[in-house]
Amino acid sequence: MTTLPAQADVETFASPRFVSQASSNEQISLLDDSGNIYRWGFNDEGGLGTGDTSRLYTPTLLTNLPPLASGDKVASVASGTMGSLAVTETGRVFTWGRATPNGGSLVPVEVTSFPGLPAGDKIVQLTSGNMHSAAISETGQLFTWGSGSNGVLGTNNQTTQNSPVNVTSHVPLAAGEKIVHVEATLGNTMVLTSLGKVYIWGVGNWGQLGNGGTGNSWDAVSPAGLPAGDPVVQLVGHSATMFALTQSGRVFSWGSSSSGELGTGSTALGLSAAEVTDFPGLPAGDKIVQIESGQYSEVALSASGIVYTWGYARYGRLGNGAIDTSKQLTPFRVPDVPSMIPGDRVVNVAVGGALTSLITESGSVFAMGYYVGTGALEAHAEPTAIEIAQLTGSVAVAGRAIVTGTLTAEPSAAAGDWNPAVQFSYQWLRDGVAITGATAKTYTPVAADAGKAITVELTGAAPNYKAATVTSAPVTPEAGTAPKITSSDLVKVEVGKKLSHQVTATGDPVPSTFTVTGTLPAGVTMNANGLITGTPTAAGNYKVTVKVSNGIEPDATQALTIQVAKSDVKPPVPCATPRKVAVFADAPLTQKFYKEIDWMHCMGYSTGWRQPAGKPLYKPKDQLSREAMAAFIFRMKAPKSYVAPKVSPFADVKPGDPFYREISWMHDAKLSTGWTRPGAKPVYKPKDSLSREAMAAFIFRLQGTTDKKVASYKAPKVSPFADMKSSDKFYREVSWMWDAKLSTGNKTAAGKEYWPKDSLSREAMAAFIYRFQMGLNAPAATGATEKAAVNTTEVATDPAVQTVKVDTRRGYTLSLTPLGDTTLQNPQALSEASFTQPEEGTVALGSNNELQVKIPNSGAKQLSFDVTVTAQDGEKETVRYVLTIAG
């Protein structure tokens, strides 16, 4: 008897999940993983333990086993002629039928007397033959009882033993060797030792002893012909045919072969062990791991789950399609079992008088032969699922019965219904006729179903149970009404304004499918529920067709026009207002360049260094490398479609290196030529720190890609910086930085200095890029004639004063966003703000909710005005703007 491993590969198990079995000529016993015993078959002498001698035709739970201690359960079962045995995990032994030591019992009784059983030892395995039984303990003690005919008990006599006797000494064991398995057959007892040796005694008239003769032996003898160096791991026998399975998976047989039981292709006696070699279809690397012997037929199992049978074919027990008295002289490969569970495979086999049974990894049981446990006495020549009980339950149809609606088959959930968990299959019917393809849990009625009787036929199936098929009460679907669109066919919106238009329709059932054909405005989409949303980006009249369906024909259609008018609204400058919560752990709101660093993150130019926990780091004081500079500029200006060349333009940067794509683009955009070398590729020096003069060169070239004036820029004859001469290498680029208001230099005793050779810090780079993008290249204000570089300095006064220096006297309009300067929490929209008018010039609210300040060209030196912002809680804050106009 073989037991399943603790863990199986399949995820779904049968309920109950059978794990082992035992079979004899008359009956079969199954053991589940909870220790419950199910059995069926003949019941002469009470071999089924039911308390009477009535036969059982389906697997039936044994309910009269004496009570077990908490936590104890049956570990294995054994069957013999008209008798059965069971042993629990704690070693308690129960017998019934002919196997009972002191005479037959119709119910299980406990056997407690095992003389010589050491303290702490326990019985672990049982076996029963025709008229005798045997047991072994954990330490290898051997016990026998029953008829002693032909010396089968190992007592060196033929005396019947009505209680177990210890015959361990009957086996010639070496020091340290012990008995690990015992097998009782029709007229023999066989044992297997821990060294893989086989001993047998009893009847020998059919060659059962395997010692070359046909005489009986009261002494333990070893069969001849077993291989040396390949120990036996399993030993089985039944009537007069014996088998040994070796560690490598080789099968050896000896004894009777009148029906081909030896599996060697012959019906002659086997007086010594001979190998069974013909296992058709056994894959390379697979091997036989279990063999069982029955009355004139045998079964073997491979590690991968392949089943082989041979011997007497009557009743279909071989699974080879034959139910007659034909003989299978060599192993036949049995077809795979029809398990309900994908990937299921056979893991345990048994064979008796007229039945072969198979347990799969899921715990399902299949049988072939005469007594297959279905309740009918008929031959089955292929694996057939056993049926412990009939599944019961009912089914109802849920959901509104209307064309295009959804009907759902709902299995009943009452106690006992569809228990254990089952697999369901469905078939929907119209007036009692199956609807083609309607085999899902749900069904959508079509027009042909209106007014008809719709039912569902539900079949519930579970491993080891008889399937049940039930039919629901009928429902009659309504015809329904076709959809009609009720929403407007004209939608008006301006460019840049949000659009939201819900297509609505009537119908029964409620329309659920909305589609649109034609071209919607750019930036506008329609979802599956008919909601048209988005922000159009281009003016025009857009004509589309909207279709609405609820499954009832005809569908509703509408010619929808979306009129998008032009708008003067300018998109806001992105990321202009610093966030009030720092995104970098090392750049708090009080950091000198917080606004610029926050803007770098908001624009996607820098993500910083991620940390195992918390916010990323910006490392503002770290020196900026040349490769990092390339990355910043690439993110600002490079096209997303840029593909780096396969051959690097620089000798020290190769494909696959960090920032290779960015550095290659710098070269292709003519922003960097690197350092030239005679006869060799230039080098980029990506890891070097970026100097302030090199930064000026990069920014100068970058501006030149879009500003034609840069190419004609002439540096002043007098340097704006004390530490730069007109003959210096990057004098022109550094001077342009001054004139473009991108650098004001550093105040020193010698005057303003640029410090061209100094390495550039990451925070300084953020400041330069911010001024470059938001000052020199900021989006033009509405009506502006010239851009202005705006430097804002907050003064701790009440109201707070923002001083704005304007470096021109020409007339233009300056856009300011005072909300970015307020300290209020959750201020209202700027449209709710109030402001005073300066003595000269004007202040007005722009179309993009920013302040438009008209600067006069009268030469006024200063303008001032107040802006009052109100928070949601009613608190007010006033900001005074002082515009100083400098020449």
728's tokens? 């210096």
Q: Give me the pLDDT at residue 739, please.
A: 85
Instruction: Provide the 3-class DSSP secondary structure of residue 836.
Output: coil
Yes or no: say if 777 and 770 are a contact pair by the CB < 8 Å rule: no
How many angstroms separate the CA atoms of 387 and 38, rounded? 11
* Phi-psi group of 771: left, alpha or beta (phi > 0 → left; psi -120 to 50 → alpha; rest → beta): alpha
Give 873's DSSP letter.
T
Q: Give me the pLDDT at residue 861, please.
A: 55
Query: Which residue, 102, 105, 182, is CA-closest to 141?
Result: 182
Yes or no: say if 318 and 324 are a contact pair by the CB < 8 Å rule: no
Instruction: Provide the 3-class DSSP secondary structure of residue 732.
Output: helix
Non-local CB neighbours of 665 within 8 Å, separated by 6+ positions: 630, 634, 638, 642, 644
Helix, strand, coil content of the chain in percent (nearest 5): 10, 35, 55
Yes or no: say if 724 and 756 are a contact pair by the CB < 8 Å rule: yes
Q: Give the residue carrying structure tokens 């059978």.
A: 18
CATH number listed for the domain at residues 485-565:
2.60.40.10
Yes or no: say if 356 and 348 are a contact pair by the CB < 8 Å rule: no
Length of the chain: 887
Q: Give me the pLDDT at residue 490, please.
A: 95
How many angstroms separate the CA atoms of 725 and 754, rounded? 11
H helix runs in 9-160, sequence order: none
Q: Are strands 132-137 and 556-565 parallel, antiparallel or unpaired?
A: unpaired
The helices-and-strands tally (H runs, E runs) of the chain is 6, 56
How many angstroms separate the CA atoms of 666 and 702, rounded? 10
How many angstroms separate the CA atoms of 646 and 98, rounded? 87
Distance of CA 682 to the CA centre of its chain: 51
The one-letter amino acid at 516: V
Q: Is 578 exposed, middle or buried (0-12, 13-18, 19+ CB in 10 A)?
A: middle
Query: Which residue, 114, 107, 63, is CA-closest to 91?
Result: 114
Q: Is 715 exposed, middle or buried (0-12, 13-18, 19+ CB in 10 A)?
A: middle
How many angstroms separate the CA atoms of 466 and 658, rounded? 66
Q: Give me the pLDDT at residue 673, please.
A: 87
What's the distance, Cα to Cα, between the start and end of the chain in Å? 106
**Bridge partners, 66 (sequence order):** none
792-885 placed in CATH 2.60.40.10: yes
Is pTM beyond 0.75? Reply is no
Yes or no: say if 748 and 722 are a contact pair by the CB < 8 Å rule: yes
Non-local CB neighbours of 71 within 8 Å, separated by 6+ positions: none
How many angstroms separate the CA atoms of 472 and 395, rounded? 5
With b meaning 16 or more CB within 10 Å and e meaning fewer, what string describes 500-509? ebebebebbb
Q: Give me the pLDDT at residue 69, please.
A: 96
Q: Are strands 395-398 and 407-411 parallel, antiparallel or unpaired?
A: antiparallel
Yes or no: say if 818 and 869 are a contact pair by the CB < 8 Å rule: yes
Q: Give me the pLDDT at residue 811, please.
A: 34
**Ranges of residues in the chain whose predicted pLDDT is under 70:** 1-12, 568-574, 775-887
Non-local CB neighbours of 300 within 8 Å, separated by 6+ positions: 251, 279, 288, 290, 291, 292, 307, 308, 309, 331, 349
Q: Give the residue carrying structure tokens 């410090």.
A: 755
Query: Which residue, 24, 144, 130, 17, is CA-closest to 77?
Result: 24
Instruction: Provide the 3-class DSSP secondary structure of residue 356.
Output: strand
Would you state the torsion angle of the CA atoms of residues 659, 662, 664, 668, taken in this order, to the nearest 10 degrees?
A: -170
Q: Is the peptide bond before 720 cis (omega within 30 degrees of 0)?
A: no
DSSP 210-232: -SSS---EEEEE--TTPPTTS-E
Q: Give me the pLDDT at residue 280, please.
A: 97
354's tokens? 């007229």
How many angstroms separate the CA atoms of 231 and 552, rounded? 76
Q: Domain 395-471: which topology?
A: Immunoglobulin-like (2.60.40)
| E strand or H helix that includes residue 407 | strand 407-411
Domain 792-885 in the same topology as domain 395-471: yes
Q: Give me the pLDDT at residue 232, please.
A: 98
Q: Give me the pLDDT at residue 5, please.
A: 33
Neighbours of 557 (CB within 10 A): 15
DSSP 241-276: EEEEEETTS-EEEEE--TTSTTSSS--S-EEEEEEE
Yes or no: say if 253 and 262 are a contact pair by the CB < 8 Å rule: yes
How many angstroms separate the CA atoms of 318 and 380, rounded? 10
Give 775's DSSP letter.
I
Instruction: Provide the 3-class DSSP secondary structure of residue 306.
Output: coil
Instruction: Provide the 3-class DSSP secondary structure of residue 631.
Output: helix
In the chain, the percentage of residues whose pLDDT exceeds 70 is: 85
**Bridge partners, 359 (sequence order):** 348, 365
Q: Are strands 468-471 and 433-434 parallel, antiparallel or unpaired?
A: unpaired
Q: Is 563 exposed, middle or buried (0-12, 13-18, 19+ CB in 10 A)?
A: middle
56's tokens? 């059982």
Yes or no: say if 626 and 666 are a contact pair by the CB < 8 Å rule: no
Domains of the chain: which residue ranges?
A: 278-388, 395-471, 485-565, 594-776, 792-885
